[in-house]
Structure 1
């Protein structure tokens, strides 16, 4: 089984447990988004969880101390389970996968946008509306500035890539001038 299959299996297990007997999937979403933000902001914690040389009991205790008063007990037990099984290194991926699966289940699609410059809120909203019209559903938009782009932006929605960069424009112009 590949790593991404393991991650999705763990994420689906947590979400199914939350839907059946737990706090509900929105509480899990909130906890997983908070966990993702924590791991994104703390390289030390991320490195700690990736260190396979550490005793699993130490990792389990650390997770419990860090998140005991911040997460639903079901989610905390899930974190303990991952630690006991030596899978704490997958925690960031599982958290992201939980949010993605919940989005899929509710018909929300995620689009990644890389732009040469920071986009204004109006530009972001206009892009979200266009992508929503294209996909026929709600869009969650993640933007980032990519200094390697000379101008324009690239949007990825699932397997579809919309390349509106200056380089792509110049390539198309060059082809049309060459007659090809």
Structure 2
């Protein structure tokens, strides 16, 4: 499921980039798309940081180990680290924006109306969605339920709040009020 999702993210991101006259490096966009959810899976999810950072760190190492320049690794790192952050990726590097657009299209249908029907059908035929909604959300639950504090300030808290009985997010107000300052 994650493989097909990641491939669709690359393809949708590429189409949106073309439509918006962005010019991402296709290889960096592909790597960003393929690694963007790696942090939800073992062995990449064994730290206590946001899953996006797990995937970003792994992709950076992957690129540097293969001789890519640090600047390329940093672009991919940003694309993955920010792919669930609303509003910011679209103002960054073309690879960062296109990865986010691809994720938004595949996960929540953003921009589907701007894609040509034949392209959409071809992508989904090659990379079927299956029971994507259910399986995708379950992958988030499985990847995050043992590290719920990493969901603070992200859309990921929404998934745990919906699916994990008893999960309750700590709000920003509670964090400020409970800070060790006298007032």
With the length of structure 2 as denominator, give the TM-score of the two structures. Answer: 0.29
Which has the larger strand fraction? Answer: 1
With the length of structure 1 as denominator, give the TM-score of the two structures. Answer: 0.30
Greater RCO (Cα-Cα under 8 Å, separation 6 or more): 2
Q: Mark the structure with the bigger radius of gyration.
A: 1
